[in-house]
Structure 1
């Protein structure tokens, strides 16, 4: 069975070796073995755990929670329900985060349109309610219709 060095894994997963060492120190990599020279090595069977760890990290899950989840995985079938509940909760939290990010992206797109139009007119006063610096809501409604 092929052994992969920490450098090979770092390259494969586009993370730094320092990140992998940190994950090991924090208990995320209890499956990692060490050779006689005390160098970490990984096996192909470790890839499923690495995929999971990096997915959870990208999703914003805290390192301590990921370590707990990996610990549950290594305990076998007796933790299947706990692992399911954990993943279900992470899915719910990520969906909420995506919804918030989507709202932010929509707002940024509105502002991009707003500034593009203001640049064409050489002023943003075209959007203001008469005598104010308040943007007239009809422009946002117009933007929504045309997006």
Structure 2
């Protein structure tokens, strides 16, 4: 059994978030000890991990709760759970593609600035370089 602090360290989620998830019925198997403190087992940690994953990929709490309720209902809900996960997979892949596009642009800028620094050259790719000419022109 684990304390909330141990779970927090193990899964890199704040104790506040874990308490919030538990208070909102997103951790259905968490137990309490004689002092009414939450105690977690390995199954509870798996619930924390899936809830954290789904939140991090943008799933609303209400939809996570629905997913958990389906899990608790049993095997007859597997088709709906599968649809939920496929939808989340698609959304997460789209997010990842956007992040990859951003990373490509950042990598391009890093390479450019490294080249400017290594070769001691002026920055010729500044996006607003044309504004310098406008501001420095005599009128």
Fold conserved between structures, TM > 0.5 = yes
Corresponding residue of 1:31: 29
What TM-score, normalized to structure 1? 0.74
Using the TM superposition, give the Cα deviation of residue 106 of structure 1 relative to its aligned residue in structure 2, in angstroms: 0.3
Using the TM superposition, give the Cα deviation of residue 31 of structure 1 relative to its aligned residue in structure 2, in angstroms: 1.8
| 8 Å Cα contact 1:33-1:42 kept in structure 2 | yes
CA distance in 1, matches of 2:44, 2:123: 56
Corresponding residue of 1:74: 72
Segment drifting more, 50-59 vs 17-26? 50-59
What TM-score, normalized to structure 2? 0.78
Segment drifting more, 47-56 vs 103-112? 47-56
Segment drifting more, 19-28 vs 97-106? 19-28
Corresponding residue of 1:144: none
Note the alpha carbon deviations across 1:91-117, whole angstroms, 9 max, x for none: 000000000000000011111122223
CA distance in 1, matches of 2:36, 2:87: 37
Structure 1 residue 107 corresponds to structure 2 residue 105: yes
Gaps in structure 1 of 5+ consecutive residues: 135-147
Structure 1 residue 133 corresponds to structure 2 residue 136: no
Segment drifting more, 110-119 vs 96-105? 110-119
Q: Which runs of 4+ in 1 moved over 6 A?
A: none
SS in 1 for 2:130: coil
Structure 1 residue 89 corresponds to structure 2 residue 87: yes
| 8 Å Cα contact 1:10-1:16 kept in structure 2 | yes
Corresponding residue of 1:65: 63
- Compute the RMSD of aligned alpha carbons: 2.2
Alignment: residue pair count: 128
CA distance in 2, matches of 1:37, 1:28: 22
